[in-house]
Structure 1
Amino acid sequence: MTPARTPLTRDELAPLAREALGPTRRLDTVTRLRGGSKKGVYRLTLDDASTAIAYVWSPDEDYWDAPPADPRDPFSHASGLDLFTASHDRLTALGIRTPSLLFADPTHRHLPADAAIVEDLAGGTLEELLRRHPHAATGPLKDLAADLTAMRAHTAPRFGKVAVVDDGGSAHGTSCEAVVRDRALRDTEEAAAREPRVAAVRDRLGHRLHELFSAVRPRARHTVVHGELGPDHVLLDADGRPALIDIEGLMYFDAEWEHAFLRLRFGPHYEALRTDDLDEDRLRLYCLALHLSLVAGPLRLLDGDYPEPGPMRGIVEHNLERALEFVRR
């Protein structure tokens, strides 16, 4: 575990800002934004009052303290400049809005870490809009649904992270559903070691996962999915258009995985994003697997020094209850 985490200062970020935004403007203030668990996200305010966002990928900014990731594992730790730029390029090619990439620095010349500068979108998150003015979110939700349709229309014959597949590679595993099942079984074991309520039904959860897996029919083509698309991962630009963030986990996978997450995170607002042509057997498997992931992952994070343990514990409790419903039926 990283023993101490100190946010980067204005002086530390000034060389990166100068290189990205030009020498005629001076970096005035730096604010580390809340919520990032895999990378540092900093708002840079310049002396002309303009702003930009800096992303910094370093162990000091990553609360997961994860070992080196295998990019051929679709669900491996999704963090790093290479994953980010590949995902940004794919979304841009599809016409999907994401904050414009202004500068990428893999050289470590300005910081001892990979870094990027992107545009700062001042419209807040879709999550905030849904909470404060849900009626005003009708347009952004409609636009987001159109974006999801465009992503689903782009297919690949192999599944895996966009950075891998677009480069001609392939993921480990025989199928999306097998990868999801195997990961869910590991999540069950990991969660059982930390949470007695999971340990008490570990075998029943394993049996249920195998049962749901056996009902899934094979599929040969896969579509672009964000993977963790909640309303907090959607920013709004000045025109109210949605822009996707936290895109490093972008992959070619099953649309059902995306919709399992959308249904969980958007709640009653999911109706605006719903599509009627999903495989319900696949969706059931993915929903249970997602709940187990959102128990095991946050419990792992809570072993460390994550600064907001309360909300993370809330995620565990909500998803644990939902997972247990699968073995009460």
Structure 2
Amino acid sequence: MAHLGVADLTDLAHAAYGRSLRQVARLHGGSKKGVYRLTLDDGTTGIAYVWRASEDYWPEHEPDPLFGNASGRDLFLTAHTALSEAGMSVPRLVLVDRDTVVVEDLGGEFLEKLLDTEALERLWDDLEAMHGRQSPRYGRPGALQPAEAPPVPDVILERALAHLEACCERVPRIAAERERLENQLRQRHSVIEPRTSYGLIHGELGPDHVLVSGGRPVLIDIEGVMFFDVEWEHAFLELRFGRHHRPAENLDPARMNLYRLAQYLSLVEGPLRLLDGDFPHRDAMREIADQNIERVLVC
């Protein structure tokens, strides 16, 4: 996949900063969008997010209204507003273009290298406040699901069963456990009590999606922001942060039990599907799939 260069982004840089563009570097990550550091003629830098088909490594797939379309300029801007209103730190907007957004460059200090600092404790406090912002319906801010939409656990169950089906086609060890795993999903779902209020979540919050600037955590890759069961977020947080995870009070154990297995299946199905294309960081994606195959099998 060809990446953008100075000639492609020079007009964008001039519109954003009124200066000439000296250098462009595509940053690591970004499977659905291109993330580029713009270096200007005076040495200052900015970050451009570019949503174009040429930047999307994912193979075509049947759209998922909540999860599958978590990319695009409009979703980014809606999420940016929602997080800002919730008191979360996000990169400052510099320019909004048709399929591109330029934001301030906060450097490359990710939280994954600072897990034993006060920044992590501040993140947990910030997330508690963010999750406390409630909505009577779930979905994207500004595009909530209708009141008659299926409950969140039903949505997760159907998604997890589809992921199980896909995993069975690719992973013989999971296929051998298919009946047991399907029964596990259905049993875990069957004991969940109804809920009528949902918290604001990031949706894919690992330590590599948090920058640290001036000691404060700053959220990036925010297009997946939505009102949802906060247990869905915490099932992912405990997976990504391990012993550093700080569980919130009053999490529903039944939801956590279902969502853990659903997350593991998602983190097998998604990486393996991504590897059908030309995603460059193949070893890392394969490792994610392998780790979660093991998690699925011991559930």
Quote the Cα distance in structure 2 between the aligned partners of 1:173 and 1:63: 31
Partner in structure 1 of residue 168 of structure 2:
192
Q: What are the equivalent positions in structure 2 for 1:195-210 lying under 5 Å apart?
A: 195-210=171-186
Whether 1:104 and 2:78 are equivalent positions in the alignment is: no
The count of corresponding residues between Structure 1 and Structure 2 is 299
Partner in structure 2 of residue 268 of structure 1:
243
Partner in structure 2 of residue 111 of structure 1:
none
Quote the Cα distance in structure 2 between the aligned partners of 1:325 and 1:287: 12
Partner in structure 1 of residue 134 of structure 2:
155
Quote the Cα distance in structure 2 between the aligned partners of 1:267 and 1:62: 29
Match of 1:93 among 85, 89, 114: 85
Cα shift at 1:162: 2.1
Cα shift at 1:195: 1.1
Matched letter for residue 260 of structure 2: C
Match of 1:182 among 142, 155, 158: 158
Identity of aligned residues (%): 49
Matched letter for residue 274 of structure 1: P
Q: Name the Cα RMSD after superposition.
A: 1.5
Structure 1 SS opposite 2:95: strand
Cα shift at 1:275: 1.6
Farther off after superposition, 146-155 or 36-45: 146-155
Structure 1 SS opposite 2:298: helix
Partner in structure 1 of residue 107 of structure 2:
122
Cα deviation digits, residues 93-116 of structure 1 (max 9, x gap): 11110111111112xxxxxxx111
Partner in structure 1 of residue 12 of structure 2:
16
CA distance 1:170–1:248, change in 2 (3 Å):
farther
Partner in structure 2 of residue 32 of structure 1:
26
Cα deviation digits, residues 142-161 of structure 1 (max 9, x gap): 11011111111111111112
Structure 1 contact 225–253 (Cα < 8 Å) conserved = yes
Cα deviation digits, residues 274-304 of structure 1 (max 9, x gap): 2231000110000000000000111101111
- Which 4+ stretches in 1 moved above 6 angstroms? none
Structure 2 SS opposite 1:268: helix
Structure 2 SS opposite 1:263: helix
Structure 2: which 5+ residue stretches go unaligned? Answer: none
Cα shift at 1:77: 2.6
Match of 1:62 among 56, 59, 64: 56
Cα deviation digits, residues 174-216 of structure 1 (max 9, x gap): 1111100000000000111111111111121111100000011
Farther off after superposition, 78-87 or 144-153: 144-153
Structure 2 SS opposite 1:95: coil
TM-score (norm 1): 0.88
Farther off after superposition, 314-323 or 256-265: 314-323
Match of 2:228 among 244, 248, 253: 253
Match of 2:67 among 71, 75, 82: 75
Whether 1:314 and 2:287 are equivalent positions in the alignment is: yes
CA distance 1:155–1:187, change in 2 (3 Å):
same
Structure 1 contact 234–245 (Cα < 8 Å) conserved = yes
